[in-house]
């Protein structure tokens, strides 16, 4: 299970399968069955078959034994379909129990105002209103969702995200949102309540994960309508068969017609459809993503354009030392040694990366002389350095600051290096020893490893990637080329993001993006798939239709894969379900009408033992195939990036052809077993 789940259960582990078996019987409630027209029809027909079998048995009729067996297997068909849905729901409920365990029953420390933190009244969280202020101190559990109004503190969010490292939450900015059920590790916060009792983020997660509020997606509704239409068509076909049989002088027992109807309607996909949808939502939760609706998951599988922030998604975010470029007459090792000494007092990520690069490239160790005087990095001077005994001074800093320090313009060779680094999207830092320029350190916002390959993978799926950045066009173009994105939007503002999304949508494309700030909220709401970071503002989380608990922008790529897997799984099992009905025609129709129409013998390719065993074998196979496909419905069909035509060919070959061949083998094997046991 996910990081926050109590245990990792297998697909059909006893902890899940046991309660699901009980739930399968509870789902025989007509109100529950009515949500699925195919299984509801199967249940009604099973009831009819039970009545017919009972009447035949009391009358001592010749079809009593076969009628009872058909009725039993028809009820198994309904129960197996209920079991598939119950297993999917059970896995979600196991995760929901872990979330529910984090809910706090502690009293809230309500403040009268921001001005006085001593005026605190303890109150049950159920009596706290939206907009009120609560005080949370070190060791307290945050009782409800809110926005930090004052203070800075470390918050343990492991109960929600599974990550053990505390995160910083503070007033203002994009990290002001706190979630009920998390715990304050240090300091204190004043939080403004943003959710009513029962409507917190944790409450919504529990409801969504359990599937209690899962709404059918447009694709599911469309498929339901198609399956209901096929059920109606086959009902009309079966109802008219007795007239044709009577005209030809053949009497077909009603119990056989019941069996024919159930085996011809698409019971396989009808029984698995709900489980596929629930399992798709559950797979997202396993990836620490909560979907507010199944529509968002489906849309993720269909998106055409993926908008990604540069910082933190495509690049690491912090500029890192990439190379030492010495001036003429200076060795690279000499430059690296001076750069290392000048960076020892620089506690910024950039300074630390310079020390690391010097150590890695030349095995240099930071060993300054005992009487050295360090000059820390300052945003005012934009440089750092060290003064060595004897008056030698080493400095590193921005090119203009270093030129001012030396009192003369940079040499043409060094100036050319500075301009080249700047035009490539990097940051140049000049290093000088006693005002003699030794060379330039090349800092760059390093593109994440293998990100280019991931974008190539998305391109094979037919998805266009667009990098969004506040950088100038020149820098943006350089990073876009290195990362391998298809396009970029430089100097991006909230208005420009929104304009880009609307333009893409007006051309018929589905757009996905991620964000965490209040200024991202309009674009998140406009996008077909809006992924809000859990660390983001309440406005961003409200606007998005997916929430990433790990706050990892690269998760958007994983969400796309889950969405595509959901669509492919549904399509593959639908293809298999429709295809395997063909074999049942070859099993049941000759059994019913061979006596009246000897020409139908050519359809008896399986050579089944008797009409009774043929009908019973088809009914048994129809029930067992649902059980066999439950693991595929829950785990999903494996998705590999390919074009739509290639995916269609694979789908038809594996599940279309497989759906044709497997029933012939399965029904024949069951027929041999039925004959061996003399059940028919």
Out of 8-22, 339-353, 541-555, which region has the weakest mean confidence (pLDDT)?
8-22
Mean pLDDT for the stretch of residues 552-559: 76
Residues 332/324, Cβ–Cβ less than 8 Å = yes
Q: What tens digit of pLDDT does each residue of 623-632 get? A: 999 989 988 8
pLDDT score recorded for residue 648: 80
Q: Helix crossing, 14-26 with 64-100: angle to 10°?
A: 120
**Cα end-to-end span (Å), the chain:** 45
pLDDT score recorded for residue 25: 92
- Residue 119 banded pLDDT, cuts 50, 70, 90: low
What is the token pair recorded at 320?
């890192």
Residues 593/238, Cβ–Cβ less than 8 Å = no
Residue 465 clears pLDDT 50, i.e. is over it:
yes
d(CA 136, CA 110): 9
pTM over 0.75: no
d(CA 570, CA 453): 28
Residue 431 clears pLDDT 70, i.e. is over it:
yes
Residue 41 clears pLDDT 80, i.e. is over it:
yes
Q: What tens digit of pLDDT does each residue of 14-39 get? A: 777 788 889 899 999 998 888 888 99
* Averaged confidence pLDDT in the chain: 81
Residue 656 clears pLDDT 50, i.e. is over it:
yes
- Widest CA span of the chain, in angstroms? 119
Q: How many helices (H) and strands (E) does the chain have?
A: 23, 22
Is 177 annotated as ligand-binding?
A: no
pLDDT score recorded for residue 621: 92
What is the token pair recorded at 420?
């080249």
Is 324 annotated as ligand-binding?
A: no
Q: What tens digit of pLDDT does each residue of 659-676 get? A: 888 988 998 899 888 888
d(CA 301, CA 123): 46
Is 224 annotated as ligand-binding?
A: no
Is 76 annotated as ligand-binding?
A: no
pLDDT score recorded for residue 4: 42
pLDDT score recorded for residue 7: 41
DSSP per residue over 99-143, as a string?
HHTT---PPEEEES-SS-SS-EEEE-GGGPPTT-EEEEETTPBP-
d(CA 252, CA 255): 8
| Positions marked active-site | 309
Strand partners, 394: 386, 433
pLDDT score recorded for residue 76: 94
Is 379 annotated as ligand-binding?
A: yes
Is 97 annotated as ligand-binding?
A: no
Residue 1 clears pLDDT 50, i.e. is over it:
no
Burial 158-195 (b: 16+ CB within 10 A, else e): bbbbebeebbebebeebbbbbbbbbbbeebbbbbbbbb
pLDDT score recorded for residue 205: 67
Q: What domains can be seen in the chain, in order of their start residue?
A: 14-94+209-285+561-677 (no CATH), 107-142+145-194 (2.70.150.10), 297-314+448-549 (3.40.50.1000), 319-446 (3.40.1110.10)
Is 382 annotated as ligand-binding?
A: yes
d(CA 464, CA 335): 42
d(CA 401, CA 320): 20
In three-state secondary structure terms, 392 is: coil
Is 436 annotated as ligand-binding?
A: no
- Residue 43 banded pLDDT, cuts 50, 70, 90: very high
Residue 363 clears pLDDT 50, i.e. is over it:
yes
Residue 642 clears pLDDT 80, i.e. is over it:
no
Is 381 annotated as ligand-binding?
A: yes
Q: Are strands 464-468 and 289-291 parallel, antiparallel or unpaired?
A: unpaired
Strand partners, 444: 320
Is 350 annotated as ligand-binding?
A: yes
pLDDT score recorded for residue 94: 66
Mean pLDDT for the stretch of residues 399-413: 83
d(CA 208, CA 160): 15
pLDDT score recorded for residue 422: 78
């Amino acid at each position: 299970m996910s990081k926050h789940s109590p245990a990792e259960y297998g697909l059909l582990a006893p902890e899940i399968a046991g309660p699901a078996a009980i739930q399968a019987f509870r789902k025989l409630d007509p109100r529950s069955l009515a949500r699925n027209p195919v299984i509801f029809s199967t249940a009604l027909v099973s009831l009819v078959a039970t009545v017919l079998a009972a009447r035949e048995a009391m009358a001592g009729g010749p079809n009593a034994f076969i009628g009872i067996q058909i009725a039993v297997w028809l009820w198994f068909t309904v129960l197996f379909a209920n079991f598939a849905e119950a297993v999917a729901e059970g896995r979600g409920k196991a995760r929901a129990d872990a979330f529910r365990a984090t809910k706090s029953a502690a009293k809230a420390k309500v403040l009268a105002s921001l001005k006085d933190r001593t005026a605190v009244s303890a109150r049950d969280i159920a009596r706290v209103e939206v907009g009120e202020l609560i005080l949370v101190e070190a060791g307290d559990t945050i009782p409800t969702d809110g926005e930090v109004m004052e203070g800075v503190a470390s918050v343990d969010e492991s109960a929600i995200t599974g990550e053990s490292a505390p995160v910083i939450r503070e007033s203002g900015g994009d990290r002001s949102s706190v979630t009920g059920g998390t715990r304050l590790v240090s300091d204190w916060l004043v939080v403004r309540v943003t959710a009513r009792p029962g409507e917190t983020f944790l409450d919504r997660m529990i409801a969504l994960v359990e599937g209690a509020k899962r709404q059918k997606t447009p694709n599911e509704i469309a498929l339901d309508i198609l399956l209901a239409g096929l059920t109606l068509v086959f009902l009309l076909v079966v109802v008219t068969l007795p007239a044709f049989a009577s005209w030809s002088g053949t009497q077909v027992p009603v119990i056989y017609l019941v069996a024919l109807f159930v085996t011809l309607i698409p019971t396989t996909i009808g029984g698995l459809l709900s489980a596929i949808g629930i399992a798709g939502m559950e797979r997202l939760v396993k990836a620490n993503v909560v979907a507010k609706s199944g529509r968002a998951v489906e849309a993720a599988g269909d998106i055409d354009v993926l908008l990604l922030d540069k910082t933190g998604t495509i690049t690491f975010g912090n500029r890192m030392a990439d190379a030492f470029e010495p001036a003429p007459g200076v060795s690279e090792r000499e430059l690296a040694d001076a750069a290392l000494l000048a960076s020892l007092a620089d506690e910024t990520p950039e300074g630390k990366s310079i020390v690391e690069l010097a150590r890695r490239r030349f095995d240099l160790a930071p060993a300054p002389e005992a009487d050295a005087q360090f000059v820390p990095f300052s945003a005012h001077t934009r440089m750092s350095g060290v003064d060595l005994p004897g008056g030698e001074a080493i400095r590193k800093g921005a090119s203009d600051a270093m030129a001012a320090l030396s009192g003369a313009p940079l040499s043409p060779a060094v100036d050319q290096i500075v301009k080249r680094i700047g035009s490539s999207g990097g940051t140049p830092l000049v290093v000088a020893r006693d005002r003699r320029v030794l060379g330039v350190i090349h800092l760059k916002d390093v593109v994440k490893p293998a990100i280019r390959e991931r974008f190539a993978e998305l391109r094979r799926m037919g998805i266009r990637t667009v990098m969004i950045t506040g950088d100038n066009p020149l820098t943006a173009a350089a990073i876009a080329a290195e990362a391998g994105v298809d396009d970029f939007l430089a100097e991006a503002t909230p208005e420009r993001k929104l304009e880009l999304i609307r333009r893409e949508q007006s051309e018929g494309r589905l757009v996905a993006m991620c964000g965490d700030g209040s200024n991202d909220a309009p674009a998140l709401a406009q996008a077909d798939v809006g992924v809000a970071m859990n660390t983001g503002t309440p406005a961003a989380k409200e606007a998005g239709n997916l929430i990433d608990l790990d706050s990892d922008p690269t998760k958007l790529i994983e969400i796309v894969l889950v969405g595509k897997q959901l669509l492919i799984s549904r399509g593959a099992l639908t293809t298999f379900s429709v295809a395997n009905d063909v074999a049942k025609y070859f099993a049941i129709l000759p059994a019913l009408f061979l006596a009246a129409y000897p020409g139908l013998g050519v359809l008896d390719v399986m050579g089944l033992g008797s009409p009774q065993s043929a009908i019973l074998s088809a009914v048994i196979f129809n029930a067992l195939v649902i059980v066999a496909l439950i693991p595929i419905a829950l785990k999903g069909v494996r998705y590999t990036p390919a074009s739509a035509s290639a995916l269609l060919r694979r789908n038809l070959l594996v599940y279309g052809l497989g759906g044709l061949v497997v029933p012939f083998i399965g029904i024949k094997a069951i027929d041999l077993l039925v004959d061996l046991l003399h059940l028919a």
